[in-house]
Structures are given as structure tokens and as C-alpha cells.
Amino acid sequence: MLTIYGDSISGNCHKVRFVADRLGIPYRWIEISVLKAETRTADFLAMNPAGQVPTVRLADGRFLSQSNAIMLHLAEGSALVPADAYQRALMNQWLFWEQYSHETVIAVRRFHKHYLGKSDDEMDPALLEKGARVLGVMDGHLAARDYFTGGALSLADIALVAYTRLAHEGGFRLADYPHVAAWVARVEKYLGIAATR
Ligand SMILES: N[C@@H](CCC(=O)N[C@@H](CS)C(=O)NCC(=O)O)C(=O)O
């Protein structure tokens, strides 16, 4: 059986759980606390030398990390990955964008504000501005479509919804991005997960 080493507060870890739940893949969840530095123990580093969750142990004992790589592996051949090569490439385009431009802003500000308790003055002021730009890009894209690629829910939606749905914890107002807010509600309903706002 699949084992997911994850922290319940981490959107990157939520992604893996959302995909496994959606596809009916059975798994065991082992809670690893980032705040308690449980990603830095010798046992954990032996599984993932980068010291990050999510990390999974596949049924055959092999390990895999990086949330989007794990999702791609679990969802291979499923309806969450477009069959059309161009639509699949577009999905990957959003997955890379999520890791480079979205997660590094939306998730980082949430962690600093909500979990480290930093005041606005103690955080990089550029994060708010960059977050507004990121949410604006998403809002513009979603103005004309229900899902990010291919006319159906894909891994791009799951990757992007993980931290977008928690963006208010980082001080972002989703109400300012109505197409994003409607899409979050749509994806949460599709995934059968409770709204957090
Ligand atoms: N790009 C990685 C990011 C993983 C990541 O940053 N994980 C955080 C929790 S969300 C973590 O384990 N932090 C502990 C650390 O880096 O020491 C992914 O998508 O899986």
C-alpha cells in the first residue's frame, strides 16, 4: 500500500491526498510535522535527503517526493491527466507555474503569517504585490473557463487549488478575484472537500 508522509497543514501534502482520494487509491498517512522539524530526523532524511514533505513510499518500497511529481505518478493514465498531448502540456505549464510563481508567494506568506505569526511589517512586502499579480493571472484565465485546461478538472486545478483555497490565511482576499473564488468552490465540491473560508 502507498504510504504518504505528510504534514496536515501543508497544501503540497493536501495535493497528494486529494489525488489519492479522488482516484480511490488506498494509503496510509504518516503525520510529519515541519514545525517540529520532523523532516530533519535521520530516518526522514534517509527517505528524502531534501528533508521535505510530501514524500511517499510506493507499494513496492520505492520513494518519491515533490508534490507535483507524486501527483503525476499516481494519476498516470487517469482522467485527471488530459489524453491530448497539447492539453497535457498546458497542464504541465500550470504545474510548473504553480511551483515557481504561485506556491513561492501564496504558500510562503500563509506560512509566515498564519503559522509563524509574523506581522505585516515583518514579512517581505513584495509578497503581497506578487500574490495579487498571481491571483490576477488566475482570475483572467478562469474568466472564460471552468477549469485550467482541457475543459475538465486536471492535476493543474488540484495543484493550484491547494494553496489558493487557503490564501486568506496569508492575507489575500479571494473576494477580489471572483472567477478564482467560484473556481475554488467548484473544485472543492468536485473533490468533496469542505470549504475553509
Ligand atoms: N516543491 C516541493 C516543496 C515541498 C515543501 O516545501 N515542503 C515543505 C512543507 S509545505 C517542507 O517540507 N518544509 C520543510 C523544510 O523544507 O525543511 C513540493 O512541491 O513538494
> Which of 100, 87, 112, 103 is CA-nearest to residue 169?
112
pTM: 0.97
Indicate if ligand 1 lies below 6 Å from the C-beta of 154.
Answer: no
CA of 161 to the centre of ligand 1 (A): 17
Report yes or no: 98 and 160 within 8 Å, Cβ to Cβ. Answer: yes
Ligand 1 mutation pick, 8, 53, 70, 103, max ligand atoms within 8 A of CB: 53
Q: How far is CA 168 from CA 3, 54, 109, 177, in A?
A: 30, 23, 10, 12
Helix 11-23 vs helix 178-191: crossing angle, to nearest 10: 50
Q: Is the pLDDT of residue 128 over 70?
A: yes
Phi, psi of 82, rounded to the nearest 5 degrees:
-60, 140
Supply the pLDDT for residue 85. 97
**Is there a shared CATH topology between the 2-75 domain and the 85-191 domain?**
no
Pick the CATH number of 85-191 from 3.20.20.80, 1.10.443.10, 1.20.1050.10, 3.40.50.300: 1.20.1050.10
Ligand 1 mutation pick, 7, 17, 34, 74, max ligand atoms within 8 A of CB: 34
Supply the pLDDT for residue 122. 96
Longest dimension (CA), the chain: 48
Supply the pLDDT for residue 172. 97
CA 126 from centre of chain = 21
Question: Atom 11 of ligand 1 has which residue's CA nearest to it?
Answer: 52
What is 114-133 written as a DSSP string?
A: IIS---GGGS-THHHHHHHH
* Extents of the domains making up the chain: 2-75, 85-191
CA of 22 to the centre of ligand 1 (A): 22
CATH 3.40.30.10 fits 2-75, yes or no: yes
Indicate if ligand 1 lies below 6 Å from the C-beta of 10.
Answer: yes
Residue type, 2: L
pLDDT, tens digit, 9 for 90 and up, residues 3-44: 999 999 999 999 999 999 999 999 999 999 999 999 999 999
161 CB-side CA count, 13 A: 32
Indicate if ligand 1 lies below 6 Å from the C-beta of 149.
Answer: no
pLDDT, tens digit, 9 for 90 and up, residues 144-155: 999 999 899 999
Ligand 1 mutation pick, 18, 52, 99, max ligand atoms within 8 A of CB: 52
pLDDT tier for residue 77 given thresholds of 50, 70 and 90: very high
Q: Is the pLDDT of residue 197 over 70?
A: no
Exposed, middle or buried: residue 51 (CB in 10 Å: 0-12, 13-18, 19+)? middle
CA of 53 to the centre of ligand 1 (A): 5
